[in-house]
Structure 1
Amino acid sequence: MTFSRDNYAFDDPSQKDTRTSSRSDNDTSSNSDVDMSKPFFNPTGLNWFVTGLFVVGDLAGGGIVALPTAIIQADFWTGLIVCMILIAVVSYTAYVLGLSWNILLSTWPEYRHHCRKPYPEIGGRAMGPTCKLLVSICIDVTQFGISVVYLLLASKNIQNMIIAFSNGGNLSFCVLVLIVAACLLPLCFLKSPQDFWWAVVIAMLTTSIAVILIIVGSIIDYSACAPHAQLPPFKITNLFLSMGTLLFSVGGHSAFPTIQHDMKQPKEFTKSVILAFTIMAFMYIPVCIMGYLVYGDSLRDSVIPSIQTVWIQQVINILITIHCILTLTIVFNPLMQEVEDLFKVPQKFGIQRVLVRTGIMIAVVFVAESVPTFGPLLDLVGGSTLTLTSVILPCLFYLYLAAYKKKEEVTGMPGYEPATWRDVFAYNDKPTLIICITIMIIGIVGGGCATFSAIVELTSTQFQMPCYVSAFQHKNTSAITSQTNCCGPMQNIAVFNGTCSAPNLGFYN
């Protein structure tokens, strides 16, 4: 008997089911001693509470500083309603993605060992090997894009701190990108989330403190800025751009199966999802409301420079920068494990892991130096591949896997091929079908519009010359004297009679 993991089928279907006799590519031990009647249990894994903090650390941070701007772009009430709807949508898709991985754990024994790429395995079992490959490519692009955004955001925050604490001194942003990448590279050599759970918990804590400080700083600025706060004229393109930011802020499902697989009891992932998205709702909504009430259309890419109490502004900068650097350890991990699997890199630490992961970091740095604007890039990632992995694919895969499982129970025979679309409609209950199809339509329409708008933004109004081109151009060498974006219609109201940054009155146009 032979079994192909690429084709998910026996050469001889009359032989025993793969679930009791196949060998995993991820593990050299036999699966024949696996008791499939018992739920999967990993005694060295993470409990559901720490896993929930992991999910918060994976999602919150980079998006939260841009979220108030997105709400302003969407005309506040519209944006706030869309934000709450998207939180509910991604909570559901995280839930069904967790159910999908549990179906794999309870059906095929090879997944009870270390699995380098669980999300593509879900796609492969749901819809076949071609889908597995497409999911791998989609996740790689998503994680790569998020890594670039976080690297740019961390570098921008550090540049702001240098300007604030050196009385206008400045260090080239392009040079800072290189320095930050070199400093965080050693963290990327760790194997999997269970090896650096402490880093993500710290990232979650730094984000929580940053949220509190954003609210405190906004309250301090309220009396001077709130009377002058106003919304920009509504534009449909701004609404689509805000969709990209919102999706970036609440989506991050590419890493969820990897995190779930490192749990003691993956069946408890639903608890982790509820905890994580409840925490995120309590983080996001107050920040959005305060940004609208206090600053209005004086907000730009990030809410941080609008906080006019300098020490609060810079502490937030430090906290969000720490978050970005630590969260990159999660964001990078699925991508790096995927590439390592492609090149047959051993799972033990060695020179091959160092070379592969260093090469990926160099590629991320090159893209960051090519597109040194994190706002529109964030919108592009959020509206495209991140929408696929966080909204559309979880529902699609769950419908196919649930149909496969239900068909097996009804017929009493194990399946040797993925479910068909006819099985999807025959073996799923109507409420699940309606919810999943509705969510997929929302993802396709919203993500498509957000992607198109972000491309237009990157190539026109927000275009910046790549670092390796601008380095050879004549530049104004005068130092930037302030990184505080003042409030008011003309962006010139300073709460403490400080110096304002140069206004950008056309930001929303």
Structure 2
Amino acid sequence: MCTDKLANGGAAPHCPSDDSPDFEQPLLYAHGGLEAGKDPAAARDHEAQCSPEDGGATSLRTYFNGLNALSGVGLLTIPYALAEGGWLSLVLLPVVAAVCCYTGQLLQRCMSASPAVRGYPDIGALALGGKGRFAVSLSMYAELYLVAIGFLILEGDSLNKLFPGTSLSLGPGIVVSGKHLFVVLVSIVILPTMWLRNLSLLAYISASGVVASVVLVFCVLWAAVVDGVGFQGKGRMLNVSGLPTALGLYTFCYCGHAVFPTLCNSMKEKDKFSKVLVICFVACTLNYGSMAILGYLMYGDDVEPQVTLSLPEGKLISKLAIYTTLINPFSKYALMVTPVATAIEEKLLSGNKRSIKNMLIRAFIVISTVIIALTIPFFGELMAFVGSLLSVMVSMLLPCICYLKIFGTARCSMSEVVLIVMIIVLGSLVAATGTYSSLRNIIHKF
């Protein structure tokens, strides 16, 4: 029984014989927090994520959803990441992709241990009880919150590129100009989307992320070949001091683990999820690698943290690239922050008549992200921090820890244990060095 359930995603752990105690039932209740319908935290975490479709999604639709989960603003920062680490650091991109793909498969195997697992926080609860749920939820929500801040910075920088010199006078001696003005204006436009109770429309709009990623690569290639930018950036072979930042940004590109359990649950044929995951990672790695090489060949070490800001001004293709980058943050901001808002509301509010308080809480969250975006307007450095600390935690460390805790080393092959321990050690090293490096760069820019 155990072997059949765990054979889906690659090397399955060795399982005890058929006369051993049933493996599923004790895990359901050993730590608490997983019995269906009886744990508010479980219900809240499940509500905060996308609910699986009743009929089940096809493999093709899951491919698309997986690509959308992995195709994000990391595409804009990948040439900058390559510039930080040098040409040789590019070999680390497929390595990071392979590790994150493997840990995604570990999450799938963790789900097979209990039918009560519906989302990532449930896996944390299954492995480590209430503390595990809290650790997973905190890491996920912090990552979502900081990425939303990155969206505001991205919007401000991009609009400032499109409309340079824009300013607004608020009175004698009070002038708001540049990207600060655009960050505030964008937040005003975004705020009403935070009050929507049904985000299905935004979910469909955000699905344009896959197409937008391909369009961006095409725009950068067009600027190089047709608009005369060329491939003049020589770049460095290796920059050891920049490797932590590069690794943090590479990891940020593959931070879709929070939604992988939901995608798996939504499938009609869950045993095909491992194959879907591999294809999604390969496709995204090819796209990320293409953008990294193009951007670094074009601009070398002078490439901006957002490659679109390096494109020549006034060109139609440059405007198309920037407009393309503007679409997703507008739609995805609410999708990113709503889980955070939902968790806060469930914690602070009770009862059904709380619409005004809900609106105030969500408005406060938007205001807080605006304040931080205005205070730390460093997109590349902030995304490196998110990738180094939170993405490494969510995408590498927690899947490995939860897997070993749920199944135990006795049920895993020696090679699998060694591989997982190596990922934990290397992930911890990336988290420590990358977090320090990104924080140092942020402080240095103040």
Q: TM-score, normalised by structure 1?
A: 0.71
Q: Larger helix proportion, structure 1 or 2? A: 2
Q: Which residue in 2 is equivalent to 1:67?
A: 78
Q: Which residue in 2 is equivalent to 1:87?
A: 97
Could you tell me whether the CA contact under 8 Å between 1:87 and 1:250 is conserved in 2? yes
Residue type at the aligned position of 1:59: L
Residue type at the aligned position of 1:66: T
Could you tell me whether the CA contact under 8 Å between 2:93 and 2:250 is conserved in 1? yes
- Structure 2: gaps of 5 or more residues: 1-27, 44-50, 168-175
Aligned pair 1:301/2:312, yes or no? no
- Cα deviations by residue, 1:330-349 (Å, 9 ceiling, x for unpaired): 32243233223323567999
Shift in Å, 1:27: 11
Q: Which residue in 2 is equivalent to 1:411?
A: none
Could you tell me whether the CA contact under 8 Å between 1:248 and 1:386 is conserved in 2? yes
Shift in Å, 1:273: 1.9
Could you tell me whether the CA contact under 8 Å between 2:155 and 2:182 is conserved in 1? no
Query: C-alpha separation between the residues in 1 aligned to 2:128 and 2:432?
Result: 23
Q: Which residue in 1 is equivalent to 2:283?
A: 279
Within-5 A mapping of 1:92-107? 92-105=102-115
1:428–1:276 CA distance, 2 compared to 1 (3 A): same
Residue type at the aligned position of 2:441: E
1:287–1:233 CA distance, 2 compared to 1 (3 A): closer
Could you tell me whether the CA contact under 8 Å between 1:43 and 1:264 is conserved in 2? no
Aligned pair 1:217/2:223, yes or no? yes
More displaced, 47-56 or 153-162?
47-56
SS in 1 for 2:74: coil
Of the two structures, which has the highest relative contact order with CA contacts closer than 8 Å and spacing of 6 or more?
A: 2
Aligned pair 1:8/2:18, yes or no? no
Residue type at the aligned position of 2:164: I
1:243–1:252 CA distance, 2 compared to 1 (3 A): same
Shift in Å, 1:284: 0.9
Q: Which residue in 2 is equivalent to 1:340?
A: 345
1:388–1:41 CA distance, 2 compared to 1 (3 A): closer
Aligned pair 1:55/2:69, yes or no? no
Within-5 A mapping of 1:150-189? 150-163=151-164, 171-189=177-195
Q: Which residue in 2 is equivalent to 1:386?
A: 391
SS in 2 for 1:65: helix
Q: Which residue in 1 is equivalent to 2:241?
A: 237
Q: Which residue in 2 is equivalent to 1:417?
A: none
Residue type at the aligned position of 1:202: S
Q: Which residue in 1 is equivalent to 2:273?
A: 269
Aligned residues: 404
1:251–1:41 CA distance, 2 compared to 1 (3 A): closer
- Cα deviations by residue, 1:451-470 (Å, 9 ceiling, x for unpaired): 1101110111x22xxxxxxx
1:136–1:368 CA distance, 2 compared to 1 (3 A): same
Residue type at the aligned position of 1:8: H
Query: C-alpha separation between the residues in 1 aligned to 2:58 and 2:334?
Result: 20
RMSD: 3.3
Within-5 A mapping of 1:105-504? 105=115, 108=116, 111=117, 118-163=119-164, 171-190=177-196, 196-220=202-226, 225-226=230-231, 228-232=232-236, 234-263=238-267, 268-308=272-312, 310-344=315-349, 350-401=355-406, 403=407, 424-460=408-444, 462-463=445-446
SS in 1 for 2:86: coil
1:265–1:26 CA distance, 2 compared to 1 (3 A): farther
Query: C-alpha separation between the residues in 2 aligned to 1:441 and 1:278?
Result: 25
- Cα deviations by residue, 1:160-187 (Å, 9 ceiling, x for unpaired): 1112999xxx943112112112222333
Could you tell me whether the CA contact under 8 Å between 1:243 and 1:447 is conserved in 2? no
Could you tell me whether the CA contact under 8 Å between 1:379 and 1:454 is conserved in 2? yes
Shift in Å, 1:41: 8.1
Could you tell me whether the CA contact under 8 Å between 2:52 and 2:266 is conserved in 1? no
Shift in Å, 1:399: 2.3
Q: Which residue in 1 is equivalent to 2:16?
A: none
Could you tell me whether the CA contact under 8 Å between 2:32 and 2:125 is conserved in 1? no
Shift in Å, 1:319: 0.5
Query: C-alpha separation between the residues in 2 aligned to 1:179 and 1:46?
Result: 38
Shift in Å, 1:352: 4.7
Shift in Å, 1:204: 2.1
More displaced, 280-289 or 291-300?
291-300
Query: C-alpha separation between the residues in 2 aligned to 1:148 and 1:350?
Result: 25
Query: C-alpha separation between the residues in 2 aligned to 1:313 and 1:332?
Result: 29
SS in 1 for 2:226: helix
The structure that has the greater radius of gyration is: 1
SS in 1 for 2:304: coil
**Identical positions, percent:** 21
Q: TM-score, normalised by structure 2?
A: 0.80
Shift in Å, 1:275: 3.5
Query: C-alpha separation between the residues in 2 aligned to 1:344 and 1:178?
Result: 28
- Cα deviations by residue, 1:32-54 (Å, 9 ceiling, x for unpaired): xxxxxxxx984255434333323
Query: C-alpha separation between the residues in 1 aligned to 2:201 and 2:177?
Result: 34
Residue type at the aligned position of 1:343: L
- Cα deviations by residue, 1:347-385 (Å, 9 ceiling, x for unpaired): 999445433332322221121122111111111111111
